[in-house]
């Protein structure tokens, strides 16, 4: 797909340029620049200093939320927002809410009834540290708190905030993460339909939340429809690429590098891009997605976006 230079110039006129130097860096530099500010705000939201037995619930929430992680999703939020504004304080509530919701999904995903994992982000999973009952509550509370933040902390017109809440709710529900998790749990017995099942599963389970990270800041900032459409397409590519590289890393990575147990997909005979297509084909699919993603990143004049594609295909965790 060749980039139409006239189209790129037209798109650039819809994106503010006074602070785009912030986006003229690679993803690691970008994360290093913004991670401390983000994590300071994230911790401030979660700290309520309970004086009774709820303190243990707060401890469990903080344990999982502040564990060492990539912070990939909030960095996507920030990288999109900076295309339209430099006032990062405005977007931090959204970035924090999405990370809280993502952490809830990890806590629940690790439970014995789901993926039954002992380690996450290089540490014991929440249920291994605090017990299943408290882990379930920690996940529930983080996700609920995410919506409290979205409804009370976003300094935008109420209609835009409602639109964001509606979009994010859908990304988490039966047409998003939860639905994808269901498809992942049951697998697919039909070899003929396995490829469709696999892509649908991960476009929902992984992709919809990542797509939200990229699209929702543009909704808040009232971006033109053509920009939002490109961002949505980019988000879909990022989400699918993230999952394919996850499947590859499960096979080629080590537990120490990943911060969680490796080779679980193969041991449990799960349908993944590697188990279905094979390692070499999965790598080829990932490489093709990188090219498509970088073409969209160039259209959007976002170097961080472009390097995110490199980061994902080269990451070891």
- Tell me what pLDDT residue 256 has: 66
Q: What is the dihedral of CA 193, 199, 200, 205, to 10 degrees?
A: 140
- CATH assignment, 5-314: 1.10.600.10
What is each CA distance from 315 to 32, 67, 159, 228, in whole angstroms? 16, 19, 38, 27
The model carries a pTM of 0.89
Which of these, 39, 97, 43, lies nearest to 217 by C-alpha position? 97
Question: Percent of the chain, pLDDT > 70?
Answer: 86
- Whether the CB-CB separation of 273 and 247 falls below 8 Å is answered with yes
- Whether the CB-CB separation of 210 and 174 falls below 8 Å is answered with no
| Domain spans of the chain, in order of start | 5-314
- Whether the CB-CB separation of 67 and 121 falls below 8 Å is answered with yes
- Whether the CB-CB separation of 215 and 92 falls below 8 Å is answered with no
Which of these, 202, 285, 271, 197, lies nearest to 236 by C-alpha position? 202
- Whether the CB-CB separation of 7 and 295 falls below 8 Å is answered with no
φ/ψ (deg, to 5) at 129: -85, -40
Say how many C-beta atoms besides its own lie within 10 A of residue 249's C-beta: 18
Copy the structure tokens of residue 248: 């590859």
Q: Does pLDDT of 6 surpass 70?
A: no
- Tell me what pLDDT residue 265 has: 65
- Tell me what pLDDT residue 5 has: 44
Q: Does pLDDT of 16 surpass 60?
A: no
Q: Does pLDDT of 17 surpass 70?
A: no
- Tell me what pLDDT residue 124 has: 95
Which of these, 252, 286, 274, 166, lies nearest to 216 by C-alpha position? 166
> What's the rounded Cα separation, in Å, for the pair 198 and 117?
22
Band (250; pLDDT cuts 50, 70, 90): confident
- Tell me what pLDDT residue 7 has: 46
Question: Percent of the chain, pLDDT > 90?
Answer: 74
- The mean pLDDT of the chain is 89
What is each CA distance from 216 to 165, 166, 191, 253, in whole angstroms? 9, 10, 36, 32
Alpha-helical regions (H) of 49-153: 54-65, 72-81, 92-109, 126-130, 132-153
Q: Does pLDDT of 284 surpass 50?
A: yes
Strands (E), the chain: 119-120, 123-124
- Tell me what pLDDT residue 189 has: 61
Q: Which helix or strand (DSSP H or E) is residue 165 part of?
A: helix 158-172
Residue range 268-287: mean pLDDT, rounded: 90
- Tell me what pLDDT residue 10 has: 45
Q: Does pLDDT of 11 surpass 90?
A: no
């Amino acid at each position: 797909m060749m980039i139409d230079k006239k189209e790129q110039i037209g798109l650039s006129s819809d994106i503010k340029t006074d602070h785009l130097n912030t986006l003229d860096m690679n993803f690691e530099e970008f994360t290093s620049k913004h991670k401390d500010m983000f994590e300071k705000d994230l911790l401030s939201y979660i700290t309520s200093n309970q004086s009774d037995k709820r303190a243990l619930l707060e401890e469990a929430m903080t344990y999982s939320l502040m564990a060492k992680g990539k912070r990939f999703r909030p960095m996507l939020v920030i990288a999109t927002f900076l295309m339209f504004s430099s006032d990062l304080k405005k977007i931090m509530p959204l970035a924090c809410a999405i990370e809280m919701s993502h952490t809830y999904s990890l806590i629940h995903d690790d439970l014995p009834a789901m993926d039954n994992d002992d380690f996450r982000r290089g540490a014991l999973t929440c249920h291994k540290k605090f017990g299943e009952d408290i882990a379930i509550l920690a996940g529930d509370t983080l996700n609920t708190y995410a919506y409290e933040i979205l409804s009370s902390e976003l300094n935008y017109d109420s209609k835009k905030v409602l639109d964001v809440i509606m979009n994010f709710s859908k990304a988490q529900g039966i047409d998003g993460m939860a639905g994808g998790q269901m498809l992942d749990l049951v697998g697919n017995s039909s070899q003929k339909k396995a490829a469709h099942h696999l892509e649908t599963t991960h476009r929902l389970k992984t992709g919809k939340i990542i797509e939200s990270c990229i699209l929702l800041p543009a909704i808040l900032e009232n971006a033109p429809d053509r920009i939002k459409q490109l961002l949505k397409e980019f988000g879909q590519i990022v989400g699918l690429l993230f999952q394919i590289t996850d499947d590859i890393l499960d096979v080629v990575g080590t537990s120490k590098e990943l911060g969680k147990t490796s080779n679980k997909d193969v041991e449990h005979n799960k349908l993944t891009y590697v188990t279905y297509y094979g390692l070499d084909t999965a790598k080829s699919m990932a490489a093709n997605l990188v090219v498509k993603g970088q073409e969209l990143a160039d259209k959007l004049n976002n170097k961080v976006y472009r390097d995110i594609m490199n980061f994902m295909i080269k990451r070891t965790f």
